[in-house]
Structure 1
Amino acid sequence: MPEGDTVFRQAAQLHRALTGHRLKSCDLRVPDYATVDLTGHRIDDVTAHGKYLLIHTGGMIIRSHLKMDGVWHLYPLADGTPRWRRPGHTARCILSTAEHQAVGFALGELVVFPAMELSQQQSHLGPDLLGADWDPQEAVRRLRSRPERPIGLAVLDQRYLAGIGNVYRNEICFLHGVHPATPVAEVVDLPGIVDTAHRLLQVNRLRSRRVTTGSATAAVRSWVYGRDGQLCLRCRGRIHRAELGEEQDRRRGRTDRIIFFCPHCQPQT
């Protein structure tokens, strides 16, 4: 599941290959921007902000969000037209330089706006867990702004801190022995939860395989996420699966309402 670390890693890959090179072609396959053509402009930077990937070129920014199924692929052009690893009809953005072609497949969101509007366009986001200006105190303050909200929903809210998805939500709650349904006001160590989130995303930001249980060679990569019915790595009890979501999540059928937890290690009060 794409989360902040996934986006950071893909942005870093695109940055290394594209920054400083001019676009030989630009194909945006979404109706609102189908006529936008940035061919000839130099790519100035590729960055990540929370779950958004930002491509800076020609005084504009191409912003994408992976949602559930999106991914960016990078193909070398040394041997001619590349063979894509995803179906062509799912391509939403195709950017080519003399040496590489970057293709965004199944992107959940793709928008283009002037670079001068960046702050405004991203103003709804909380502190970026992988950003150079990461501010843990501000993240804690925002989480505490709604003390009655379940911690498992609060940490998913990108307005509070940017970059956490369902995998990290479940893993962070387990590591702190907190049931995801626990109200923020009852969480004993909220700064600790914020710090754990930061450290987990930092250590995984350039890994090809996300691991929250130890080293990259760990046999079991997660404590509870996706492990319903399996044995807890701490107490050997059974991991449970349930749902936790607000009404709008249920109406939209959002899959990130699914939670995983150990009833013994994370008792619900």
Structure 2
Amino acid sequence: MPELPEVETVRRGLEALIVGKTIERVTVTLGRIIRKPDDVEQFKLLLQDLTIDEVKRRGKYLLIGAGPYTLVSHLRMEGRYGLYSAEEAVEKHTHVIFHFTDGTELRYKDVRQFGTMDLLPRDDFTELPGVATLGPEPLHAEFTVDALRRQVAKRRSGKIKALLLDQTFVAGLGNIYVDEVLFVSGIHPETTVTQLTDLQVTRLQQAIVDVLDQSVRLGGSSIKSYVNGYGQGGMMQHQLRVYGHENEPCPQCGTEIVKTRVAGRGTHFCPHCQPEQG
């Protein structure tokens, strides 16, 4: 699933590619991707003749502004956007096409068909379930050590791995970057929230910011099928320290990287650099 760096990379690409373009019409071939409004025909009609004026992001959600509406798009497992000429053949698994007046098309392709789109009045998107409960944005200036400390103080139980995966705690982190963040901060994934020291919280905040910032600069991680709006893959997968490196030597100490399951997810860590806490 695309995580914050991948979605932010897609956002930046779409911002450069489609802002200022006017929607002539919309084609939808898989109606269940459209959640709001309930009527797909109304979705298509409401977008007709509107000009896209912004592309923002909240957590893992893309927010495409057009006229009085915000299109909230969640890529889920394998959703992707691409800009094409109207003359180019439409690929299999393309489920939504935004036809622009200049002869180009923004196409949404989703092999797994788990992605969603919600078209809402401009300021109402914050009330959408999933968006309304999102935690702080880790790459915003407001995400300080004190802010993270306050988030930690709200929780009285649970393992740190599960906590970081919880979008109401911090927005945008997924399995790949949680493993990387915990490695960089030297915290065992099964450490409980009550075991965290002030120093660990400080290191955790810095690791979240550093790892996500590095990944955004490198265009995200192309582990599976992820590409940006230009059809290009990211480069962060070449910089991952523990994720996907089970049975390989730790880049810091040479100890073999272990893969286990925590919070129901495959979890990679170094038992030497991330010791269990008693």
TM-score normalised to the size of structure 2? Answer: 0.81
Structure 2: distance between partners of 1:131 and 1:53: 16
Structure 1: distance between partners of 2:39 and 2:217: 31
Residues 1:100 and 2:140 aligned together = no
Residue 118 of structure 1 is aligned with which of 116, 122, 125? 125
Deviation at 1:218, TM superposition (A): 8.8
Instruction: Specify the SS of the correspondent of 1:205.
Output: helix
What's 2:218 paired with?
207
2:7/2:57 contact within 8 Å kept: yes
Residues 1:15 and 2:15 aligned together = yes
Instruction: Specify the SS of the correspondent of 2:247.
Output: coil
Residues 1:138 and 2:156 aligned together = no
Deviation at 1:138, TM superposition (A): 3.1
What's 1:226 paired with?
244
Deviation at 1:93, TM superposition (A): 2.6
Q: Which runs of 5+ in 2 are unaligned?
A: 33-37, 223-233
Structure 2: distance between partners of 1:219 and 1:146: 32
Structure 2: distance between partners of 1:33 and 1:56: 20
Deviation at 1:3, TM superposition (A): 0.6
Deviations 1:158-190 (A, max 9, x none): 111111111110011111211111012212221
Question: How much identity, in percent, do the aligned residues show?
Answer: 27
What's 2:275 paired with?
267
Residue 62 of structure 2 is aligned with which of 43, 53, 56? 53
What's 2:81 paired with?
72
What's 2:183 paired with?
174
2:219/2:236 contact within 8 Å kept: no
Structure 2: distance between partners of 1:226 and 1:10: 23
Q: Which runs of 5+ in 1 are unaligned?
A: 251-256
**Residue 136 to residue 113, structure 1, CA distance change in 2 (3 Å):** farther
Residues 1:34 and 2:34 aligned together = no
Residues 1:192 and 2:203 aligned together = yes
Instruction: Specify the SS of the correspondent of 1:204.
Output: helix
Matched residue type, 1:8? E
Structure 1: distance between partners of 2:196 and 2:211: 19
TM-score normalised to the size of structure 1? Answer: 0.83
What's 1:254 paired with?
none
2:4/2:60 contact within 8 Å kept: yes
Structure 2: distance between partners of 1:219 and 1:111: 31
